[in-house]
């Protein structure tokens, strides 16, 4: 069971490190829109709930084991049986180790889910910004083109000696220009809003990345301590068995 906990924690860490890699967000968006990922997302909530329930049960089991072996030496007199004392201490140590692993796995699972959500939102915002930018550029070019055509028509009419009866025509052109300018302003406003959302998503992703890196370092430190303590506990036991 402890190997399963450690494997789950390592898998969660590996997933977090994968999503923290500085890949292009458009590439992540393509990955998230693939058929395989869509199939996973369809059952993703169910899988996540099952995973959380399993991790919570493992945490509860580890807490129960700790409470079981924590005060056993006080309730039972084992002074004449040092082997039993070492056995109970080893059981207590393993229960504490399982609690750390299951607890970190539970926390990293929530962080990983949040990180995936932020990456997907950021990729979507980037795609929306590109679309709004292209629309704004297209509207700006169309407005510029209409204004140039209007000026050209006025020049040609003046050269040909034709007086434009053009109040209606000018009003129509001005109305089109106002409409194009309004559309351009609307697109620019939407682009600014999306930029603000994108900055917010980037800040949240950066904060999550720093938090995940800190938790990963702390987890590595606990694993090193566990290896040292395991060696210290297994050493005397192996000698006695010999």
Please name the residue that has the structure tokens 């039972």.
76
Residue 213 C-beta-side C-alpha neighbours within 13 Å: 8
50 near 111, Cβ under 8 Å?
no
Round to whole Å and give the CA distance between 66 and 6: 18
Question: In the prediction, which pLDDT does 207 show?
Answer: 76
Question: In the prediction, which pLDDT does 43 show?
Answer: 75
Round to whole Å and give the CA distance between 35 and 4: 29
Question: In the prediction, which pLDDT does 200 show?
Answer: 79
Torsion angle, alpha carbons of 224, 225, 229, 230, to 10: -40
pTM: 0.48
Round to whole Å and give the CA distance between 235 and 242: 11
Q: Give, for all 242 residues of the chain, the pLDDT tens digit.
A: 444 444 444 555 555 455 445 444 556 556 656 676 667 667 777 888 888 899 999 999 989 888 887 776 666 666 666 677 777 778 888 888 888 888 888 888 888 888 877 877 777 777 777 777 787 777 777 777 777 777 776 676 666 554 445 555 566 667 777 777 777 778 778 877 877 877 777 777 777 777 777 777 777 777 777 777 777 766 655 545 54
Question: In the prediction, which pLDDT does 234 show?
Answer: 67
Q: What's the token pair of residue 58?
A: 């493992």
Q: Where are the domains of the chain?
A: 2-241
113 near 212, Cβ under 8 Å?
no
């Amino acid at each position: 069971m402890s190997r399963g906990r450690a494997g789950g924690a390592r898998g969660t860490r590996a997933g977090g490190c994968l999503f923290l890699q500085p890949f292009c967000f458009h590439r992540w968006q393509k990955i998230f829109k693939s058929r395989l990922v869509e199939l996973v997302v369809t059952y993703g909530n169910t899988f996540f709930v099952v995973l959380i329930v399993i991790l919570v049960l493992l945490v509860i089991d580890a807490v129960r084991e700790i409470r079981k072996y924590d005060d056993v030496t006080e309730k039972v007199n084992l002074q004449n049986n040092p082997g039993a004392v070492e056995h109970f201490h080893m059981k207590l140590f393993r229960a504490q180790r399982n609690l750390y692993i299951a607890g970190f796995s539970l926390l990293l699972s929530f962080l990983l889910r949040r990180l995936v959500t932020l990456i997907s939102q950021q990729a979507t915002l980037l795609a929306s910004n590109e679309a709004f930018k292209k629309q704004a550029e297209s509207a700006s070019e169309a407005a510029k083109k209409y204004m140039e055509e209007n000026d050209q028509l006025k020049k040609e009419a003046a050269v040909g000696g034709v007086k434009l009866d053009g109040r209606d025509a000018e009003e129509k052109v001005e109305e089109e220009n106002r409409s194009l300018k309004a559309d351009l302003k609307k697109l620019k406003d939407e682009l600014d809003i999306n930029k603000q959302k994108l900055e917010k998503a980037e800040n949240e992703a950066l904060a999550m990345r720093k938090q995940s890196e800190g938790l990963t370092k702390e987890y590595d430190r606990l694993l090193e301590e566990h290896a040292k303590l395991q060696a210290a506990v297994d050493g005397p036991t192996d000698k006695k068995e010999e």
